[in-house]
């Protein structure tokens, strides 16, 4: 069977399901760290159509998505996919690169946050917050302004515990963005994007970052009805709470030992990077202004950017 | 409110996740999902209670470490330990 070699979340993945959303791995000959197998046997349909069902055991994660596929994630290095009859590859990949990959990241001891991340001269900046708060939209506007995108939807943060390193890094993930329709129209992205469930998928072209970047700050986005945007660097134990609240699908973790690892990682991340509350009006017309606001706030908080600042649209 | 007696055996609840951040110990209750920050003396007491001990033994330990009389220490502890117990952080036998 044909397969593709990809690079995502800092991992070399060999997949029997071709994934145009992922970066192609530069040295496909090497032994992959993760393999994705496509099994021909059709899974038993145990749940009604579209109903999601999952099961977590130590080192094993199973998920059935009615009408799509059955996924099995094991030992942080193997994913098996049994597609349902008539399932489209696009839908199979949606859950493969979302839920199944999220479970794999937990198995590998990474800290997966639900949000988007960009590379800046100060380091990696992550945006988290509730569904629909505008994480992808903000990341996409930074991308338009010349910043490179590290991740959208799931941001994997390494910690000393997960890779034996002293610096925390955000691992580069996907080479596409998923945007809500209103933001899609506002940003004027050409038709190269395709409609994908409830969001548009926009290929990033050259605009993605292909190497891990040291983590600088995590921004918790919030909305307000009116007034100027607020940038508040958090102190105290609330930081740990915000990090844990924004984990990607924490329900995939049921074992207490893993929870206590995550708690320790949250403390370590809060210790080494800034946790910042950003509150602004949720108005697509104000997205460029929010980007300018954040650039100024970063300069004020972290000092002038390094010389290699990204090129800006208007000079 | 409960009044702790010298012979009361105190222990930390097991149903907590914890991490260190700056000068604080951050606790999260697995059941309630609530967060607590322990700094300064509170942190010292939390650390000491890792080993279950009587109220009297805890007073002794703290008197060795802080410039405080046993009477004043016992009085201060009543309030703090009571609060810990109400929040489900402390187990008393």
Which CATH number belongs to the domain containing residue A292 in this structure? 3.40.50
B13 CB neighbours in chain A (<8 A) are none
**Which pLDDT band, with edges at 50, 70 and 90, does A25 fall under?**
confident
The pLDDT tens digits for A107-118 are: 998 899 999 999
Give the model's pLDDT for residue A164: 52
Burial (CB < 10 A; 0-12, 13-18, 19+), residue B1, is exposed
Q: Is B29 domain-assigned?
A: yes
Nearest to A246 by CA among A104, A142, A93, A135: A135
Give the model's pLDDT for residue A191: 40
What region, left, alpha or beta, does residue A230 occupy, with left being phi > 0 and alpha being psi -120 to 50 degrees? beta
Q: Is B67 domain-assigned?
A: yes
Q: Which residue of A has its CA nearest to B16?
A: A260
B31 CB neighbours in chain A (<8 A) are none
Q: What is the mean pLDDT of chain B?
A: 91
Q: With a CB-CB cutoff of 8 Å, which residues 34-93 of chain B face chain A?
A: 35-37
Contact pairs from chain A to chain B, CB under 8 Å: 39
Q: Is A198 domain-assigned?
A: yes
Tell me, yes or no, whether A123 and A206 share the same domain: yes
Considering only CB atoms, which residues of chain A are within 8 Å of chain B? Answer: 236-241, 244, 256, 259-260, 263-264, 266-268, 270-271
Check CB contact under 8 Å for A270 and B21: yes
Structural domain harbouring A143: 111-302
Tell me, yes or no, whether A94 and A189 share the same domain: no
Tell me, yes or no, whether A77 and A127 share the same domain: no
The pLDDT tens digits for A257-299 are: 677 888 888 999 998 999 999 999 988 888 999 999 999 999 9
Tell me, yes or no, whether A266 and A149 share the same domain: yes
Q: Is B84 domain-assigned?
A: yes
Residue B75 has pLDDT above 70, yes or no: yes
Give the model's pLDDT for residue A44: 55
Total of domains in chain A: 2
Q: Is B5 domain-assigned?
A: no
Check CB contact under 8 Å for B28 and A240: yes
Q: Are strands B90-92 and B24-29 parallel, antiparallel or unpaired?
A: unpaired
Q: Is A68 domain-assigned?
A: yes
Q: Is A314 domain-assigned?
A: no
Tell me, yes or no, whether A101 and A204 share the same domain: no
Residue A22 has pLDDT above 90, yes or no: no
Tell me, yes or no, whether A47 and A89 share the same domain: yes
In angstroms, what separates the C-alpha of A220 from chain B's closest C-alpha?
18
Q: Is B1 domain-assigned?
A: no
Q: Is A192 domain-assigned?
A: yes
The pLDDT tens digits for A30-71 are: 899 999 999 876 555 454 434 557 888 888 888 888 888 999
Q: Is B35 domain-assigned?
A: yes
Tell me, yes or no, whether A139 and A124 share the same domain: yes
**Distance of alpha carbon A121 from alpha carbon A290, whole angstroms:** 18
- A241 vs B20, B30, B35: nearest CB: B35
Structural domain harbouring B58: 11-88
Tell me, yes or no, whether A86 and A151 share the same domain: no
Q: Is A315 domain-assigned?
A: no
Total of domains in chain B: 1
Give the model's pLDDT for residue A280: 94
User: For A17-31, A120-134, A193-207, A278-292, which range has the lowest pLDDT when averaged over its residues?
Assistant: A193-207
**Which pLDDT band, with edges at 50, 70 and 90, does A189 fall under?**
very low
In angstroms, what separates the C-alpha of B26 from chain A's closest C-alpha?
6
Residue A207 has pLDDT above 80, yes or no: no
**Which pLDDT band, with edges at 50, 70 and 90, does A190 fall under?**
very low
Chosen domain end from A107, A125, A140: A107
Check CB contact under 8 Å for B19 and A268: yes
Q: How far is CA A118 from CA A96, A144, A149, in A?
A: 23, 12, 4
In angstroms, what separates the C-alpha of B21 from chain A's closest C-alpha?
5
The pLDDT tens digits for A229-252 are: 999 999 988 999 999 999 988 777
Burial (CB < 10 A; 0-12, 13-18, 19+), residue B31, is exposed
B21 touches chain A (CB under 8 A): yes
Give the model's pLDDT for residue A52: 54
| Global pTM value | 0.82
Q: Is B28 domain-assigned?
A: yes
Tell me, yes or no, whether A150 and A103 share the same domain: no
Tell me, yes or no, whether A159 and A64 share the same domain: no
Q: Is B68 domain-assigned?
A: yes
Chosen domain end from A82, A107, A132: A107
Check CB contact under 8 Å for A240 and B20: no
Q: Is A73 domain-assigned?
A: yes
Give the model's pLDDT for residue B33: 78
Residue with tokens 């900046």: A125
- B35 vs A240, A268, A271: nearest CB: A240
Tell me, yes or no, whether A267 and A201 share the same domain: yes
Tell me, yes or no, whether A174 and A216 share the same domain: yes
User: For A27-36, A146-155, A167-176, which range has the lowest pLDDT when averaged over its residues?
Assistant: A167-176
Give the model's pLDDT for residue A314: 44
The pLDDT tens digits for A123-136 are: 999 999 988 888 88
Which DSSP category does B52 fall into? Answer: -
- Which residues, including other chains, have CB under 8 Å from residue A25's CB and lie 6 or more apart? A5, A6, A7, A12, A13
Give the model's pLDDT for residue A175: 58
Q: Is A183 domain-assigned?
A: yes
Q: Is A203 domain-assigned?
A: yes
Chosen domain end from A107, A140, A156: A107
């Amino acid at each position: 069977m044909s397969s593709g070699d990809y690079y995502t979340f800092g991992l070399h993945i060999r997949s029997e399901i071709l994934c145009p959303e992922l970066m192609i791995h530069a040295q496909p000959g090497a032994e992959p760290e993760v393999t994705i197998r496509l099994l021909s046997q059709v899974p038993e349909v145990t749940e009604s159509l579209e109903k999601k069902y999952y099961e977590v055991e130590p080192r094993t994660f199973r998920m059935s998505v009615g009408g799509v596929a059955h996924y099995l994630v094991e030992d942080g290095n193997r994913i098996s996919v049994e597609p349902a009859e008539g399932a489209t590859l696009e839908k199979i990949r949606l859950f493969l690169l979302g839920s199944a990959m999220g479970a794999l990241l937990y198995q590998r001891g990474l800290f997966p946050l639900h949000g988007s991340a960009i590379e800046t001269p100060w380091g990696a900046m992550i945006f988290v917050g509730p569904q629909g708060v505008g994480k992808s939209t903000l990341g996409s506007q930074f991308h338009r302004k010349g910043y490179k995108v590290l991740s959208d939807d799931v941001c994997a943060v390494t910690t000393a515990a997960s890779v034996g390193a002293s610096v925390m890094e955000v691992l580069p993930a996907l080479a596409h963005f998923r945007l809500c329709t209103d933001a899609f129209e506002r940003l004027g992205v050409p038709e190269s994007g395709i409609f994908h469930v409830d969001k548009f998928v926009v290929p990033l072209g050259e605009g993605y970052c292909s190497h891990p970047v040291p983590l600088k700050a995590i921004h918790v986005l919030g909305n307000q009805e009116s007034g100027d945007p607020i940038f508040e660097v958090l102190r105290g134990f609330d930081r740990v709470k915000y990090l844990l609240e924004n984990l990607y699908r924490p329900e995939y973790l049921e074992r207490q030992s893993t929870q206590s690892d995550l708690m320790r990682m949250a403390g370590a991340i809060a210790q080494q990077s800034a946790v910042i509350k950003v509150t602004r009006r949720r108005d697509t017309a104000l997205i460029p202004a929010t980007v300018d606001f954040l650039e100024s706030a970063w300069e004020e908080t972290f000092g002038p950017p390094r010389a290699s600042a990204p090129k800006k649209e208007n000079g | 409110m409960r009044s702790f007696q010298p012979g009361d055996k105190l222990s930390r609840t097991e149903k907590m996740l914890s991490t260190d951040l700056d000068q604080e110990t951050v606790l999260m209750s697995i059941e309630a999902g609530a967060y607590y920050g322990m700094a300064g003396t509170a942190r010292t007491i939390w650390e000491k209670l890792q080993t279950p001990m009587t109220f009297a033994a805890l007073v002794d330990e703290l008197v060795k470490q802080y410039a405080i009389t046993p009477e004043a220490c016992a009085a201060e502890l009543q309030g703090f330990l009571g609060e810990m117990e109400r929040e489900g952080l402390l187990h008393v036998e």
